[in-house]
Amino acid sequence: MAPKGSGSTEMKAPDILYVGIDLGTLRSAVAASNGQRHWVYSFVGWPKDFVARKVLGKSIVFGEEAINNRLSVDLVRPLASGVIREGTQRDQEAVRQLVLHLFEHVQPAKGQEIRAAVGVPAEALKVNKEATILAVGECADRTVVVSEPFAVAYKLGALNNACIIDIGAGTIDFCVMHGVTPEDEDQRTLLSAGDYVDRQLYDLLREAHPNARFSETMVRQLKEQHGRVGNVKGRVKVKVPVAAKFVQHDLTREVTQACESLVSPIADTLIDLIKRYEPSFQQLVRKNIFLAGGGSQIKGIAEGLTEALADHGTFRVQAVEDPLFIGADGALELAMDMPSERWENL
């Protein structure tokens, strides 16, 4: 694994390497000031026995490799609701290994000081922030936690009269920007996020197609590939196992219903935040609503949210580009722009 300052470079490296991390419930991403970027599914797997270790050829696997070999490994997903699980030592070790894995791809130069900014849910408790700092501290000399939607806003340059809605797997995070670092009252977190949709979809599929076989991984992949809100063109037709053979099913209704369960809670929370905003500037915020996170890629969600908000006026809702890295990139920019005295006090 990569301890602080490991690696080498032919050119003399800057004294400080800045790193931005989006440590997510489903996916984690890292971006560094040396241009390195990497993402991985937030899963860690240890071979179950000596046979599994021989098949895998390694003592630990991460991300998609861990998911694809889930029958051969003890699979751990150590992040829940966007923060580190308060679970067993195996959960804690999984987070440690996941962070080390991310830093392996950063490739710091020997002797560099590493300063890392890590995104956490908007309303993360103090104990969760401290656990995150502890997990990252093995690789970074100085660590600061920032709100995930604030990191997105920073990358977009949407720092005034704008609202970011980060739809992740564990949480949906809101942040209203008004030209300064956001305070607690400017932010909200909902726990009914992507994982909630997965559970809804799983139950709907089991009820509608009792003879078919569905797994949690299969349902999540179905949502990621075919997630939709409203009258999106085309049907969701997928072959699923029934009595040891694959049979095509039309799953459009179930997928749409599960994904649409996100819309009303998002709309209600957004309205609650905006009505607390300075009245003279509320109309400006309505024109600058940005959707980020994996959930922003659900087909039709921006249009569905706009329609749900119609009774409250005209809104402009748009999904960000590159949702996979925008949180890590924003955290990186925050780290690079942060005044020296802020780092010195950490």
Q: Can you tell me which residue has the tokens 């959930």?
A: 295
Q: How far is the C-alpha of 61 from the C-alpha of 50, rounded, in Å? A: 15
CATH architecture of 194-260: 2-Layer Sandwich (3.30)
| E-only strand ranges, the chain | 16-23, 27-32, 37-41, 44-47, 61-62, 73-76, 79-80, 83-84, 113-120, 142-147, 160-167, 172-178, 187-190, 237-242, 245-250, 289-292, 317-319
**Which pTM does this prediction carry?**
0.89
| Every domain of the chain and the residues it spans | 16-153+325-344, 194-260
Question: Is the distance from CB of 200 to CB of 133 less than 8 angstroms?
Answer: no
Give Dmax (Cα) for the chain: 66
pLDDT, residue 111, reads 86
Q: Classify domain 16-153+325-344 at the CATH topology level.
A: Nucleotidyltransferase; domain 5 (3.30.420)
User: CA neighbours within 13 Å on the CB side: how many for 250?
Assistant: 3
pLDDT at position 256 is 97
Same CATH topology for 16-153+325-344 and 194-260?
yes
> pLDDT 10s digit of each residue in the chain, 346 long?
444 444 433 344 468 999 999 999 999 999 999 999 999 999 999 999 999 999 999 999 999 999 999 999 999 998 887 677 766 788 889 989 999 999 999 988 888 999 999 998 887 767 778 888 888 988 999 999 999 999 999 999 999 999 999 999 999 999 999 999 998 889 999 989 999 999 999 999 999 999 999 999 999 999 999 999 999 999 999 999 998 899 999 999 999 999 999 999 999 999 999 998 999 999 999 999 999 999 999 999 999 999 999 999 999 999 999 999 999 999 999 999 998 888 876 6
Phi, psi of 186 (to 5 degrees): -90, 0
